[in-house]
Structure 1
Amino acid sequence: MPNKGAPLGPLHILLVEDSPEDAELLCDQMLEAGLQAGFERVDNEAAMRAALAAKVPDIVLSDLSMPGFSGYQALRILRELHPQLPFIFVSGTMGEDTAVQALREGANDYIIKHQPARLPSAVARAVREARGEHERQRVADELMRAQRLESLALLAAGLSHDLRNILQPLLIVPDLIRDRSDDPKVTRLADVVAESARRGHEMVESMLSFVRGSRRPSERIVLPRLFQAVGLLLKGSLPRNVALQLEAGDERLVVEANYTELQQVLINLALNAIQAMPEGGQLRLLAERADGERLRIRVQDDGIGMDRATQERLFSPFFTTKDSGTGLGLVSCRRIVESLGGEIVVRSQPGQGSCFDLLLPLQAAAADGAADEVAMLPAGQGQRILVVDDEATRLSLLGDALSSQGYRPSVALDGAAALRLVQESGLPDAVLVDGGIPLLSAGQLLAEMQGLGYAGPAIVLEADDGPAFADGPAPAGLQVHVLPKPLEMQRVLRAVADALAAA
């Protein structure tokens, strides 16, 4: 019995043989040896191609010479369609030279018909070797994928700091623009810049979240407001021949999620839909109750659609149908949706468009929209604010914003320069310091200032990749407020006002 290894289970064996009697003898020989197998016989090219298309066999056994067809032709067809599938010649006319040629052509083995005793063990060995090779290839692919993800993690971590610094001004500038202009067109452009900056930051954070497997803080999201923001961002990407339809009029549709992550999911799906409509069509975003406890967010297009094979690989890392795609967009979308306790359901047909349904847990309606409104910020009264940040663009913008609000800022690029300013100009009323400044850390700077008599409030900017005080706790006796990045100017000004009021 050819069972010197892991059980093979039931096999499907394709016989390329013009003689029914010879085929029956081969089948009997393998069954008597203990192989569990089902058999299918073909004797021409068309029948072989049809059999391979209908069901992929575990192994192909082929005669060498047949009327109008040959074993070499059968071997070439198999290698064309299934390169790794085992193939064994079983022939009564095979000499030594012919056997060597057969192996050179890509056959796994050869058996002489009038000496068939070796056939069952040869079949078992060839199937086991093929399965082993398939498993080795699968492991190698998984290893390669893991290495690519690890490289991606290193790349994301390396770029995140620089990208945050580049995008930070785009979060601060819109508030300054709004303060200096009442023109609705200008403020609308400021809104677009702010939304784009938040999305850029979210792309950086989402990549880090993807490779780390971390979760972002969530909030209550009212779907009509989310749709408005998504529509605003999409307008610059919509071709003239694509119409955008937003349907989320019910303010009671509320979901608990991270706002920017859910916005990223919708933007990603919508941009994919736009690219799937090169001839134009309608892009529809719909929010509605799916059932009593779930919410359905639908992204639907009239595009080229997808076949079943594409749909089965949609959420595989690095799989993409775009020339410039990364193959991570939909993977990230599914991760975000599943982290919310939801699922993505895809329906598509070639030439009939695609529909992505996000099914999410439905939350109770928001109590009062007025709670979201930001209270008016009190104007500064000339208080002196020491601002310390090693990012020159952000430092300049923070100084300008504080000055426009009625404060008197003084700025420094590092802890040593800040300490010199204090020694030369006296103690400030408040300190706004980045947690990652060089030369003197934020904690060391505040400790030195405290030694000089400073007892006012300190606002420390903290990135999510490091604590505000990396070298120990904050100095005792100081009122310290930690403000997470990325910064938005209204939050900064509110933090300064609240810190001064509390002091």
Structure 2
Amino acid sequence: MPLRAISRDAQVRVLFIEDSPEDADLIRFQLEDAHLDAEYHRVEDEESLREALAGFKPDIVLSDLSMPGFSGHDALRIVREHSPQVPFIFVSGTIGEDVAVAALREGASDYILKNSSARLPAAVERALREARTEADRQRAERELMRTQRLESLSLLAAGLSHDLRNILQPLLIVPDLIAQRSDDPRLKQLAAVVAECGRRGHEMAESMLSFVRGSRRAAERFRVADLFHAVELLLKGSLPRNVQFERRLEAADAELHGNYTELQQCLLNLCLNAVQAMPDGGRLELVGRLEGEQVVLTVADSGVGMDQRTLEQLFTPFFTTKSDGTGLGLVSCRRIVEGLGGQISVHSVPGEGTRFDVRLPVPSEPAEDEFGMASAVPGQGERILIVFRDGTRLSLLGNALGSQGYVTELASDGAAALRSFAEAGEPDVLVVDDSIALFPATALLSTMYEAGYRGPTILVGDAEKFDRSVVPEGVVLEILPQPLDMHRLFAAVAGVLARRNAR
């Protein structure tokens, strides 16, 4: 029976445990006649068997039962101890029924008599197919367990991300208030540093959800030179002495538009993979250049490289060549790059090294106003209804907008906001967090619009998830992403009031 299904997949490694080279050749000729694409190796004692299991790594073992100084039963035991899933078939001149049954109980896949070996190719094919099926099943079980762990991690990350955002929010709001109340340039500089740390921390908390949620992160415009410098600083503690690192930017003024933190994590992941691919040292390069309308970021190493089979599975979830790897790092890199409208490619040669090319679009020229909003101007006593779930942020936002000359009214959920609307009347501006409880933001806006509210609204949340169908035609709506930047909020309030007054 031809073994075409097996031979098309990959070359099979067949190990003979046989003291007769002639008998081994006869079996090999029979398998070759059946079109088995295989590499063959023969051993006849325990020491050479153990060496073959470690070095040759057979896909199937064909063993004689009785050999001078070595028993097939001992060979089976050794194979099972070293490689439990490798098929083991006895091919013997004589084997009694009792011996055959005992061999199957000990873990042999089958037994074949040498003088009636016509069914050997079929037995080899079946044993290899069953072993491959079992390996696929175990792999699927491992991936299922990893998926379940990932789902559990996503629940933990969701809660942790929410708590961290609440903790970090004052770091985004208070520095602006400090800067407004002081003319000390040193104090303003310290406030700017604190605000930047808060923003980066917020982005890192959000990135924990990037796999399971797949949502878009806040974007910004930044220089590639700054990105490369940050990656080099993060790499310093991980570079072995025998790895030479070179950072080269061929276009000094190149810029990108996207999530700085995620792209930094992507390049850092590629660089750390490159370091691990050079156990004996080598050269790591991080290169940036312009090619037409694309910025190309290259991470190249002079390491061990990868074969074609590995390259084909490189971006498959849970595929990894590391004993402690998760198989998610490169999948995350590709998601980040493709989310920015780019592509990631890889070229590798075994023994020569690997090169990853990340191609990203050159950002369009920025508008006169980065956020498309009016500049922030002091308020004139306009009433602003602020609806936020977290009490700390609610209080800070009230103080911040109050310091700008607005009169603020605070509500911690949709129900409280409706009470304020009913008792105090229509506010000049509504600022609402899309994560409020009891009465969700969409339901709150829909109810207020039905009750006649036509004032401008600033929604803080995800623009892609908001149902704009609830907003009546002509109503001014501005959506600001998290983390909430105070300068952006001040400009948004001034902008929506200006648009309302211009109508």
Shorter-chain TM range is 0.7 to 0.9
Q: What percent identity do the matched residue pairs reach?
A: 52
| Structure-1 residue corresponding to 2:412 | 413
| Structure-2 residue corresponding to 1:496 | 493
Q: Against the structure 1 CA distance between its residues 169 and 306, is the aligned structure 2 distance closer, same or farther, given a 3 Å change threshold?
A: farther
Q: CA RMSD in A?
A: 4.9
Q: Deviations along 1:147-169, whole A, 9 cap, x unmatched?
A: 45555555555665555444433
Q: Against the structure 1 CA distance between its residues 410 and 187, is the aligned structure 2 distance closer, same or farther, given a 3 Å change threshold?
A: same
**Is the 1:294–1:359 contact (alpha carbons within 8 Å) kept by the matching residues of 2?**
no
Q: Deviations along 1:357-403, whole A, 9 cap, x unmatched?
A: 44314637x75898659975212233332222222121111111112
- SS in structure 2 opposite 1:9? helix
Q: Which amino acid aligns with 2:42?
A: R
| Structure-2 residue corresponding to 1:462 | 461
**Is the 2:306–2:348 contact (alpha carbons within 8 Å) kept by the matching residues of 1?**
no
Q: Mapping of 1:200-219 within 5 angstroms? A: 200-213=201-214
**Is the 2:385–2:427 contact (alpha carbons within 8 Å) kept by the matching residues of 1?**
yes
Q: Which amino acid aligns with 2:400?
A: A
**Is the 2:442–2:466 contact (alpha carbons within 8 Å) kept by the matching residues of 1?**
no
Please give the alpha-carbon distance, in whole angstroms, between the structure 2 residues aligned to 1:240 and 1:115. Answer: 61
Gap regions ≥5 residues in structure 2: none
**Is the 2:300–2:354 contact (alpha carbons within 8 Å) kept by the matching residues of 1?**
yes
Please give the alpha-carbon distance, in whole angstroms, between the structure 2 residues aligned to 1:240 and 1:51. Answer: 36
Q: Which region of structure 1 is more displaced relative to structure 2, 267-276 or 72-81?
A: 267-276
Q: Which region of structure 1 is more displaced relative to structure 2, 83-92 or 142-151?
A: 142-151
2:331 counterpart of 1:331: yes
Please give the alpha-carbon distance, in whole angstroms, between the structure 2 residues aligned to 1:7 and 1:61. Answer: 20
| Structure-2 residue corresponding to 1:377 | 376
Give the CA deviation at 1:343. 1.9
Q: 1:473 aligns with which of 446, 452, 470?
A: 470
Please give the alpha-carbon distance, in whole angstroms, between the structure 2 residues aligned to 1:288 and 1:127. Answer: 49
Q: Against the structure 1 CA distance between its residues 164 and 219, is the aligned structure 2 distance closer, same or farther, given a 3 Å change threshold?
A: closer
Q: State the TM-score, normalizing by the size of structure 1.
A: 0.74
Q: Which region of structure 1 is more displaced relative to structure 2, 138-147 or 98-107?
A: 138-147
**Is the 1:219–1:258 contact (alpha carbons within 8 Å) kept by the matching residues of 2?**
yes
| Structure-2 residue corresponding to 1:41 | 42
Matched residue count: 487
Q: Against the structure 1 CA distance between its residues 452 and 383, is the aligned structure 2 distance closer, same or farther, given a 3 Å change threshold?
A: same
Please give the alpha-carbon distance, in whole angstroms, between the structure 2 residues aligned to 1:91 and 1:446. Answer: 82
Give the CA deviation at 1:19. 1.5
Q: Deviations along 1:205-225, whole A, 9 cap, x unmatched?
A: 445443355556866643235
Q: Deviations along 1:59-95, whole A, 9 cap, x unmatched?
A: 2211123234432443344335533221112233544
Q: Deviations along 1:113-137, whole A, 9 cap, x unmatched?
A: 4454554443333233223323333
| Structure-2 residue corresponding to 1:432 | 431
Q: Which amino acid aligns with 2:430?
A: V
Q: Deviations along 1:322-345, whole A, 9 cap, x unmatched?
A: 97x865344312322245433254
**Is the 1:238–1:274 contact (alpha carbons within 8 Å) kept by the matching residues of 2?**
no
Q: Which amino acid aligns with 2:138?
A: Q
Please give the alpha-carbon distance, in whole angstroms, between the structure 2 residues aligned to 1:153 and 1:249. Answer: 39
Please give the alpha-carbon distance, in whole angstroms, between the structure 2 residues aligned to 1:258 and 1:17. Answer: 62
Please give the alpha-carbon distance, in whole angstroms, between the structure 1 residues aligned to 2:240 and 2:188. Answer: 28
**Is the 1:468–1:482 contact (alpha carbons within 8 Å) kept by the matching residues of 2?**
no
Q: Against the structure 1 CA distance between its residues 474 and 189, is the aligned structure 2 distance closer, same or farther, given a 3 Å change threshold?
A: same
| Structure-1 residue corresponding to 2:7 | 9
Q: Against the structure 1 CA distance between its residues 112 and 76, is the aligned structure 2 distance closer, same or farther, given a 3 Å change threshold?
A: same
Q: Which region of structure 1 is more displaced relative to structure 2, 149-158 or 251-260?
A: 149-158
Give the CA deviation at 1:444. 6.2
**Is the 1:462–1:468 contact (alpha carbons within 8 Å) kept by the matching residues of 2?**
no
Give the CA deviation at 1:492. 0.8
Please give the alpha-carbon distance, in whole angstroms, between the structure 2 residues aligned to 1:413 and 1:173. Answer: 20
Q: Against the structure 1 CA distance between its residues 7 and 158, is the aligned structure 2 distance closer, same or farther, given a 3 Å change threshold?
A: same
Give the CA deviation at 1:468. 6.1
Q: Against the structure 1 CA distance between its residues 140 and 449, is the aligned structure 2 distance closer, same or farther, given a 3 Å change threshold?
A: closer
Please give the alpha-carbon distance, in whole angstroms, between the structure 2 residues aligned to 1:30 and 1:443. Answer: 69
**Is the 1:195–1:233 contact (alpha carbons within 8 Å) kept by the matching residues of 2?**
no
Q: Which region of structure 1 is more displaced relative to structure 2, 62-71 or 36-45?
A: 36-45
| Structure-2 residue corresponding to 1:388 | 387
Q: Which region of structure 1 is more displaced relative to structure 2, 421-430 or 442-451?
A: 442-451
Q: Against the structure 1 CA distance between its residues 449 and 69, is the aligned structure 2 distance closer, same or farther, given a 3 Å change threshold?
A: closer
Please give the alpha-carbon distance, in whole angstroms, between the structure 1 residues aligned to 2:178 and 2:285. Answer: 33
Please give the alpha-carbon distance, in whole angstroms, between the structure 1 residues aligned to 2:16 and 2:109. Answer: 15
Give the CA deviation at 1:475. 5.3
2:89 counterpart of 1:88: yes
Gap regions ≥5 residues in structure 1: none
Q: Against the structure 1 CA distance between its residues 36 and 265, is the aligned structure 2 distance closer, same or farther, given a 3 Å change threshold?
A: closer
**Is the 2:299–2:356 contact (alpha carbons within 8 Å) kept by the matching residues of 1?**
yes
Q: State the TM-score, normalizing by the size of structure 2.
A: 0.74
Please give the alpha-carbon distance, in whole angstroms, between the structure 2 residues aligned to 1:411 and 1:466. Answer: 25
| Structure-2 residue corresponding to 1:342 | 343
Q: Against the structure 1 CA distance between its residues 18 and 273, is the aligned structure 2 distance closer, same or farther, given a 3 Å change threshold?
A: closer
